[in-house]
Amino acid sequence: MKRLEQSNISTLLTPLHPPRKGSLLYHWRNIFKNIHAYSFFIRQLVRINILRDFKRSYIGLLWLFILPVLSVIIWILLNGAGIVEPGETGIPYPAFVLLSTSIWGFFAELYRSTSRIFTERGNMMIMARFPHEVLVVERILVHLIRFSIPFLVNIVVLLLFGVRFTWLALLFPLTLLPLLILGMAIGLVVSLLRVVAVDIASLADHGINFLMFLTPVVYAPTIGIGWLSEAIRFNPLTYLIGFSRDVLTQGAFYEPAAWGICTALALLFFLFAVRFFVMSEPKVIERLIDN
Amino acid sequence: MLHTTPLLSVRNLYKKFSRDIRYNLYYGAQDLLGDTFGLKTEYLQLRKKEFWTLADINFDLFAGEILGIVGANGSGKTTLMRLIADIYHLEAGTIYGRPEQKITAVFALAAGMQPLFTGRENIYIKGSMYGMGKTEIDAKMAFIKDFSELGGELDRPFGNYSSGMRARLAYAIAIATEPDIFIIDEALAVGDSVFKAKCFDHLKEYVRQPDKAVLFVSNNIRKVLKVATQVLVMKKGRIIYESTDVKAALNHYILNCLDDLDEEQRQRKLRRVQKYDM
């Protein structure tokens, strides 16, 4: 068979698939370029993700409304049964828990879904070439949709509980951003570990679950139990979640200085995580075996 | 072959895998850490339990060619295709090509198809996965409908399709991306024979267009005889034979790669190759 001379190769062709290197800025430009080029694919993936669960159900998307209503009812019942005094919550306890758990869920759910990119979409990744950042965007968009619909139900419930909103409440969606990038950043790092170091990934899953108990979510930040108070004080999520919650329900900023520091740290970690993901992600694909 | 335009040039390609699951993951973690902290390891050095799944691969693909790649299971064919398609990370060696050329690879026809969605919805899903936009897919809709011969069935759920219908639709979408290099890796193992024949005719027609070529991976001797213009024979990660004489290459494959066949089966296969009228 005929074979090209080395000198001819370099004049006629260029090397494909060069290794990824370059500055942070270069990576980010690349990410946005890929997301733009594959925006229709992202739309399709989001559509599949949202509709798939409901395609076979008779009532379809109504489930998105029914589930939050059920969870509200459960919290009201638990409260009525006489839960331990959770500390000074400012607003009625069921409303406090409802809102806090849903903000916590915003963070934890995003971690959960980004950290499973390779296990849930690995099959697609080894069958076709497309930029994998689109899967991350898909997860975020699906997450936002899945979060916002039940959240609207929660707002109605908060009103029924007598919570009154101020204009500052309009800032609420913005205050979720630090939680979004933190959840995503941890998820991206763990997603790679879930392929090559399953034990660490499981540990991280349990760690996140456990973290919820060290965060004022089902009790107030002012709870006075020795070591727990200390843990709460040094837990960045105390500030990130408390800030969002208070902006919505009190029209006030919760510990703005600590919140600012935590947000800056979350941003730094996010930049690190994205770079780590972009640089290492191509190499773990061949390690995927259970597809 | 009159065409002399090179589309792809693979040089000194190596890829190693690990035989053992735990070592596979352990090395993965090691490489992850190594990269993050800038520690370089020598790729061409095998570690414990590792082996070359591809070693010193060199070949060229020119416009107009349908290059058949045969080899026993585990000889590295699919790994080679995944490297060319940029699914696996290229660590050692070079793949030369044209920067803007489109490579579409089909490994399993139904991969990424959604059973709960209709055939038409799946055209958008799969098409967009190959990087096509909405207008591009809409423009190709008539072609896909026509080529897949699905007609009125297009609005039924994909999950209700027979395996032949699935293969037809998936193949039609892949070819609608109009790749410069089209990789078919055992993807035509399913589907009815009439449709397969149509695909083979289409492939031969396809590479007559300027600057198009096909990499055709299959262990089915008859299929390779039907479409390939030249053949690479792979064994244990190496190319052990290459020829534009398809029959000679298949002879070599039968005699050297099919170790688990007895003498009689081998002779039967050889006779089939000899008698085949190209």
Q: B203: which residues sit within 8 A by CB, 6+ positions away?
A: B66, B182, B184, B214, B216, B227
Per-residue pLDDT at A290 exceeds 70: no
Q: Which of A1, A15, A51 sits opposite B244 (nearest CB)?
A: A1
Distance (Å, rounded) from C-alpha A233 to C-alpha A236?
8
Q: How far is A285 from chain B (nearest CA, A)?
A: 6
pLDDT at A163: 81
Residue A28 identity (one-letter amino acid): W
Which residues in chain B come in under a pLDDT of 50?
1-3
Between chain A and chain B, the number of residue pairs with CB atoms below 8 A apart is: 144
Task: Give the Å distances, CA to CA, from A183 to A116, B11, B66, B87, B169.
Answer: 13, 42, 48, 27, 39
Q: Which one, of B165, B171, B132, B178, lies nearest residue A44 by Cα?
A: B132
pLDDT at A179: 95
Domain boundaries along the sequence of chain A: 60-284
pLDDT at B126: 94
Domain boundaries along the sequence of chain B: 6-14+52-275
pLDDT at B112: 83
pLDDT tens track for A164-221: 888 888 899 999 999 999 999 999 999 999 998 889 999 999 999 999 888 888 777 7
Q: Which of A9, A48, A287 sits opposite B9 (nearest CB)?
A: A9
pLDDT tens track for A222-255: 766 777 787 888 888 989 999 998 888 888 888 8
Question: Residue A267 burial (CB < 10 Å; 0-12/13-18/19+)?
Answer: middle
pLDDT at B64: 92
CB-CB under 8 Å, B108 with A127: yes
pLDDT tens track for A25-53: 888 999 999 999 999 999 999 999 988 87
Q: Which one, of A97, A52, A38, A67, lies nearest residue A218 by Cα?
A: A97
pLDDT at B2: 45
CB-CB under 8 Å, B59 with A14: no
Phi first, then psi: give them for residue A147, nearest 5 degrees. -80, -40
Please give the DSSP secondary-structure letter assigned to residue A129: -
Q: Which of B28, B89, B128 sits opposite A195 (nearest CB)?
A: B28
- Considering only alpha carbons, which residue of chain B is nearest residue A198? B25
Strands B66-71 vs B92-97: parallel, antiparallel or unpaired: unpaired
Please list, residue by residue across B221-241, b when 16 or more beta carbons sit within 10 angstroms of its beta carbon and e when fewer do: bebbbbbbbbbbbbbbbebeb
Q: How far is B216 from chain A (nearest CA, A)?
A: 16
CB-CB under 8 Å, B243 with A128: no
Q: What is the rounded radius of gyration, in angstroms, for the C-alpha atoms of chain A?
A: 22
- Interface ipTM > 0.85: yes
Q: Band of the pLDDT at A86, cuts 50, 70, 90?
A: low
Q: Band of the pLDDT at A291, cuts 50, 70, 90?
A: low
Q: How far is B123 from chain A (nearest CA, A)?
A: 10
CATH superfamily assigned to domain B6-14+52-275: P-loop containing nucleotide triphosphate hydrolases (3.40.50.300)
Per-residue pLDDT at A132 exceeds 60: yes
pLDDT at B100: 86
pLDDT at B235: 93
pLDDT at B3: 47
